[in-house]
Amino acid sequence: MGNVTAVETASWEDEVVKAEGLVLVDFWAVWCGPCQMVAPIVEELATEYDGRLKVVKLNTDENPEIATKFQVMSIPSLIFFNNGQQIDKLVGAQSKQKFKETIDRLLT
């Protein structure tokens, strides 16, 4: 997964809540077609924004309690956190440009 870290309930606190700076969490599932379409874009973003953005993926089937906590009703859902707090959310397959616009806005 390159610069993308898999996160689960056990590692959520360390990887997301205690992380400094901007964190993008890709909520996905193996069976989700749009999630598979977004996955390479998420990988590219992790590489392009390396050092400025932490990117993690959470499998919603394996970690339903986290998905429920953040009211993830549709996947893919990309939720942005800053210092452990949710600050933005994109739902559904989006263009790379849309993701970049959101990231750039949140980094400023």
Homologous superfamily (CATH) of 4-107 is Glutaredoxin (3.40.30.10)
Q: Where exactly are the structural domains of the chain?
A: 4-107
| Residues involved in catalysis | 32, 35
pLDDT in tens, 62-108: 999 999 999 999 999 999 999 999 999 999 999 999 999 999 999 99
Q: What is the pLDDT of residues 14-48, one digit of tens each?
A: 999 999 999 999 999 999 999 999 999 999 999 99
Handedness of CA 34, 37, 39, 42 (dihedral sign): negative
HEC readout, the chain:
CCCEEEECHHHHHHHHHCCCCEEEEEEECCCCHHHHHHHHHHHHHHHHCCCCEEEEEEECCCCHHHHHHCCCCCCCEEEEEECCEEEEEEECCCCHHHHHHHHHHHHC
Closest CA to 91 of 107, 78, 105: 78
Q: Distance between CA atoms of 29 and 18, rounded to whole angstroms? A: 24
